[in-house]
Structure 1
Amino acid sequence: MTSNFSFEIKHKDPSGARAGIIRTRHGEIQTPYLVPVATRAEVNCLTKEDIEKLGVQALLCNTYHLWNNPGEKVMASKGGLHGVMDFNKPIFTDSGGFQVFSLGFGMEHNIGKLGFFLENQGKIPNKKPQDKYAIVEEDGVRFKTENGAERFLGPKESMEIQSALGADIIMAFDECTSPLHDEQYTRESLERTNRWALESLKYHDKNQALYGIIQGGKFKKLRDESSKFISSKPFDGIAIGGSLGDSKDDMKKILEWISCGLKKYHDERPIHMLGIGYIEDILECVPYGIDTFDCVDMTRVARHGGLFVSPKSGGSLENKFRINIVNSKYNSDDTPIDTLCECETCQNYSRKQLRELFKKGYSKKTQDKESQQLYNQIATYHNVHFMLNFMEQLRFSIKENKFNDFKESWMRN
């Protein structure tokens, strides 16, 4: 366990949702919190000044991508992630384990770790096995770079890279399975992940807080076994990874299994939900004691015309609480993206103006780079502000014992 890391639960709502504080050597995180993703040590389309104005509490960076470029030694020579980003607040890194899946099985079968888009199977042809960029071995994973070179990443290497990057909170090396993996393969994968978890504990930098990752796919017995195993080890926190089933109902069922298991072992360490960050998913996850989340969605969808809106501005489960600014109906819409949002974008730009910038920047005829850059920045700024404000409201509702009312105000639309 790391001496400069702690977690305190400040309040529990009757729903099971909890508000707390994670303390690290670079400051505190008020939870629950959605951690913006800075994959390659930058949040796409936002400046350092934007990050400061937004009041971002923490960031998550990607070990695999930084290992490939510019490399952990280059990062270390520049002061690690905090020095490179000039960000003196808590930083998470993942272990590279998700790329085991996304560049291997996921690439071969065109799926993500959530089975929600299995209906796309058949629409996009599977890649040939030789197109995979990751091959799982018992000691780690062999990755193939795009130029054909091979690199090996195992738990020891992952811990060394994350140490060089200098994050405050790091993840044990694991294998992320998919909704298509059967129980036999998922068991074999879990046994590997457990071995890698022990090696991660052995080799990790003791100045960094290490989270163990619960795996087991969509199989109750395996999730129970993984919860028991991770709970019994001296990790500083716990993360939930791997396949979460074929539907959102499956996700809730899996969270119920894990939550019951951790309660049985009286485990109150902080829990991080890897790669999940849709509004409806956060609202479903928080009652199971989830404290932090990470997701690229709030920045990625902005660049594709998706802008977040609250229920009072037309947000609903059906439209995933977003509008598509490409839609021609916004041609003459002089209202802000969201009437309740106080971000700089909503104070200074209308939906009509944002649509004009998007069309100008992304039109095949014009491809105006200045318009594209401006749109990307102000759209991303709005989405990040919107989600961080949503999380602030969520925390307040927990402290007031009104989480269920808050959830209902979003989910009933």
Structure 2
Amino acid sequence: MPKKFSLINEDSGARLGKILTSRGVIDTPAFMPVGTVGTVKALTVDQINQTGSQVILCNAYHLYLRPGIERISRIGGLHEFMNFNKPILTDSGGFQVMSLSKNTKITEEGATFNSHIDGSKIFISPEISIDIQKKLNSDIVMVFDECPKYSKDKISIKESMNLSIRWAKRSKIEFGHNKEKMLFGIIQGGVFNDLRKECLLKLTDIDFDGYALGGLAVGETQNEMFNTVEEISHYMDKYKPRYVMGTGTPGDLLGAVKRGVDMFDCVLPTRTGRTGLAFTWEGKVNLRSQINKDNDDPLDQKVNCPASNLYSKNYLNHLINSNEILASTLISWHNIAFFQDLMKKIRNSIKVGKFQEFYQEYFEKLNY
């Protein structure tokens, strides 16, 4: 394969690029819908494709616990299991080990915890995590890291960061040399910019195909997140993709793109969709609200999606308040289509050198 990332243009801090995988090109900046357990909740693969999504994220931790890796690997991996033929990024599960599991014990060797499903005792090391992701046959693999909760305790954050660096090195050794797939390092360090820089420099010495900012969207303010991204971006390899994990709102995406980020993932479009909240170019729409029961307008005609154009707010209000399954499908479908429409417009604005104008026009409107 040729080089795995091409930087095409830069404009007002924003970057236009392409990630090259064996299953297709990912134009960046890119947003990844989250298919945690092998499904983007409430949507079919065809619906995901219709939104313009180029890549999705699945979670190795969840798939390891259920249905189990052997059931997936025996038919070739996640793509065959899901019938999804575009690139897939797998998260290593470090965040879930810390946030979902009970009685988690961290040692130099790895993490021991009780499954959140049945309470059984599980052990995952960097080597086991990479082996799981190899068997899932994902296109972009994440190192196994410790993702601490938001904290101002610099000493504990540094200890955790150093452990993640050592685990990253072991992850790289286990991953080996693979021209077809990409391995991303994860930069930790909390909101301490000097620790983030130290972590990045040590990960750069190990040498990864891309670099992710972990430990964000865990309780810090938006300004703290933006500051962390902006400060670390000065030291990141210009010719490798940059990924902020778990972010975020439309305003988060615009602000992070302005600070040089190429990739994002978040459960927000589908999680809020299941509650009746829709993202539109005119702001958020609470479809549960009775204000919409007499509104026969479509959700957002500016978004190229059947769910956005063909169903009235009146009808969607009826569905969500009747607890109909179709409500989750239609609103989630629209939300992901809106996020992809936003990313496409961002890419086009960078391409023609007008990102700053686009940012100024939409940041306040979309920062809800």
TM-score (normalised: structure 1): 0.84
Q: What is the CA–CA distance in structure 2 between the aligned matches of 1:389 and 1:147, rounded to whole Å?
A: 40
User: Within 2, Cα distance between the matches of 1:243 and 1:30?
Assistant: 23
Q: Pairwise mapping of residues 3-42 of structure 1 onto structure 2 (< 5 A)? A: 6-13=4-11, 15-42=12-39
Alignment correspondent of 2:95 = 98
1:227 maps onto 2:200 in alignment? yes
Q: Secondary structure at the match of 2:303?
A: coil
SS of the residue 1:412 aligns to: helix
Post-superposition Cα deviations, 1:371-400, rounded to whole Å, max 9, x if no partner, equal x22111111111111111111001000111
Matched, 1:261 2:213: no
2:264 partner letter: F
Assess, with a 3 A threshold, how the Cα gap between structure 1 residues 408 and 335 changes in structure 2: closer, same or farther. Answer: same
Find the aligned partners of 2:24 and 2:216 in 1 and give their Cα distance.
Answer: 32
Query: Which residue pairs with 1:150 in the alignment?
Result: 121
- 2: distance between equivalents of 1:172 and 1:237? 11
1:388 aligns to 2:340 (yes or no): yes
Q: Residue 166 of structure 1 is aligned with which of 137, 146, 162?
A: 137
**Secondary structure of 2:235's aligned partner:** helix
8 Å Cα contact 2:38-2:58 kept in structure 1: yes
2:157 aligns with one of 186, 197, 213: 186
Q: Matches of 1:71 and 1:151 in 2, distance apart?
A: 13
Quick check: 1:310–1:338 contact (8 Å CA) kept in 2?
Answer: yes
Q: Distance between the aligned counterparts of 1:375 and 1:147, measured in 2?
A: 31
SS of 1:89's partner is coil
Partner residue in 2 for 1:350: 312
CA deviation after TM superposition for structure 1 residue 269, in Å: 0.6
Separation in structure 2 between the aligned mates of residue 340 and residue 133 of structure 1, nearest angstrom: 48
Code of the residue aligned with 2:278 in structure 1: it is L
Identity of aligned residues (%): 38
**CA–CA distance in structure 2, aligned partners of residues 218 and 306 of structure 1:** 30
State how 1:206-217 maps to structure 2 within 5 Å: 206-207=177-178, 208-217=181-190
Partners of 1:5 and 1:209 within 8 A in 2? no
Offset at 1:133?
Answer: 4.6
Deviation at 1:267, TM superposition (A): 4.0
Which digits, 9 at most, give the CA deviation of each residue in 1:116-156, with x for residues without a partner? xxxxxxxxxxxxxxxx3533222111120243311001100
Secondary structure of 2:111's counterpart equals strand
Structure 1 residue 355, shift from structure 2 partner: 0.4
The residue type equivalent to 2:39 in the other structure is E
In 1: Cα distance, 2:187 partner to 2:287 partner: 38
Residues 202-249 of structure 1: CA distance to partner in whole angstroms, max 9, x if unpaired? 001533210001100011221110111112222111111014663111
Tell whether the 8 Å contact from 2:72 to 2:78 is kept in structure 1 after alignment. Answer: yes
Unaligned segments of structure 2, at least 5 residues = none
Q: Give the 3 Å change call, closer, same or farther, for CA 5–136 of structure 1 in structure 2.
A: farther
User: 2:327 corresponds to which residue?
Assistant: 375
* Cα displacement string for residues 346-382 of structure 1 (whole angstroms, at most 9, x for unaligned residues): 2221101000011112xxxxxxxxxx22111111111
Cα gap change, 1:151/1:157 in structure 2, threshold over 3 Å: closer, same or farther? same
Partner of 2:108: 138
Matched, 1:50 2:47: yes
CA contact (8 A) 1:34 1:277 kept: no
Moved more, 49-58 or 395-404: 49-58
What's the secondary structure of 1:232's corresponding residue? helix
Q: How does 1:387-406 map to 2 (within 5 A)?
A: 387-406=339-358
Question: Separation in 1 of the partners of 2:15 and 2:111?
Answer: 36
Shift of 1:302: 0.2
CA deviations over 1:58-84 (Å, ceiling 9, x no partner) = 111001000000111111012211101
Question: How many residues get paired?
Answer: 361
TM-score w.r.t. the length of structure 2 is: 0.94
Q: What is the alpha-carbon distance in structure 2 between the residues aligned to residue 248 and residue 386 of structure 1?
A: 21
Unaligned 5+ segments in structure 1 are: 105-131, 316-321, 362-371
Note if contact 2:90-2:138 (Cα within 8 Å) is conserved in structure 1: yes
Name the structure 2 match of 1:121.
none
* Aligned amino acid, residue 89 of structure 2: F
Q: Structure 1 counterpart of 2:338, which letter?
A: F
Deviations along 1:316-370, one digit per CA (max 9) or x if unpaired, are: xxxxxx2111111111011111242231012221101000011112xxxxxxxxx
Q: How does 1:297-336 map to 2 (within 5 A)?
A: 297-311=268-282, 315=283, 322-336=284-298
Between 1:377-386 and 1:59-68, the stretch displaced more is 377-386
Deviation per CA, 1:27-65: give whole Å up to 9, x if none: 110000001111111111111221232232111100100
Could you say if the C-alpha distance between residues 236 and 243 of structure 1 is closer, same or farther in structure 2, counting changes exceeding 3 Å? same
Q: Give, in angstroms, the shift of residue 407 of structure 1.
A: 1.2
Taking the aligned partners of 1:225 and 1:180, their CA distance within structure 2 comes to 18
Task: Report the Cα distance in structure 2 between the residues aligned to 1:147 and 1:402, rounded to whole angstroms.
Answer: 52
TM-fit CA distance, 1:412? 3.4
Encode CA deviations 1:155-195: one digit per residue, 9 max, x unaligned.
Answer: 00000000000000010111112222511111110110010
1:76 aligns with 2:70: no
SS in structure 1 of the partner of residue 212 of structure 2 = strand
Larger displacement relative to structure 2 (138-147 or 26-35) = 138-147
Deviation at residue 4 of structure 1 after TM alignment: 6.4
Specify the code of the residue in structure 2 equivalent to 1:403. Answer: F
User: Quick check: 1:85 aligned with 2:82?
Assistant: yes
Q: Which moved more, 1:74-83 or 1:177-186?
A: 177-186
